[in-house]
A and B are shown apart, each in its own frame.
Chain A
Amino acid sequence: EVQLVQSGAEVKKPGESLRISCQGSGDSFTSYWITWVRQMPGKGLEWMGRINPSDSYTNYSPSFHGHVSISVDKSISTAYLQWSSLQASDTAMYFCARQPIGEPFDYWGQGTLVTVSS
């Protein structure tokens, strides 16, 4: 069974850095893109960017490019979403999902809630 398991909830202060993770199991981790989606409180889904675990190639939404960074450690089947300086507006639930080539997001992680507050 394919599973994506995300790291736990985080509470951070503005200006702090953060890295959250998404570990895959049950299938070849390097055969699919891993994508990240943001959901702000009470709002809809926003695609942030994606990474190809086989070569670490990334695509970013223009809305998020330069503010977050996506990386991967394929030796442990784990993708990461990272901020160098959090803002209060980064408070949201973040989901990772598996993205087969040319297909929508078929398996999702359970979500990681990030709260940024002074």
Chain B
Amino acid sequence: DLQMTQSPSTLSASVGDRVTITCRASQSISSWLAWYQQKPGKAPKLLISDVSSLESGVPSRFSGSGSGTDFTLTISSLQPDDFATYYCQHYNTYWTFGQGTKVEMK
């Protein structure tokens, strides 16, 4: 079975920091990779699809990169609204999520 592994599980950061979250697939997934943001008690929000395509309305401080099995989500300058949990997802055949990375205030 395909596994998606994120690191770190928790990340402590301050406003203005550059933040990077990694996601590794257990096998090559081409570009079928999305990132979501979830805040407590809310539904996830799609941020990025196809590895690096920002959804409409998502701030440009978010970016995605990678290929094959290794992917990253970068927030160039962390803002107060960005403290949340982030999930990567492979979305072809089976729709497997990573275990999540919680970005918390340092």
Minimum CB–CB distance from B59 to chain A (whole Å) comes to 18
Q: Which of B1, B44, B55, B89 contacts A95 (CB 8 A)?
A: B44
A103 & B44 in contact (Cβ 8 Å cutoff): no
Q: Chain B residue with minimal CB distance to A102?
A: B92
Q: Which residues of B contact A44 (CB under 8 A)?
A: 87, 97-100
Residues of chain A from 71 to 118 with CB closer than 8 A to chain B in the complex: 95, 97, 99, 102-106, 108-111
Known: A95-B43, A95-B44. A104 touches B97 (CB 8 A): no
Q: Are B99 and A104 in contact (CB under 8 A)?
A: no
A45 and B94 within 8 A (CB): no
* Residues of chain A having any CB pair with chain B under 8 Å: 35, 37, 44-47, 50, 61-62, 95, 97, 99, 102-106, 108-111
**B interface residues with partner A (beta carbon < 8 Å):** 1, 34, 36, 38, 42-46, 49, 55, 87, 89, 91-92, 94-100
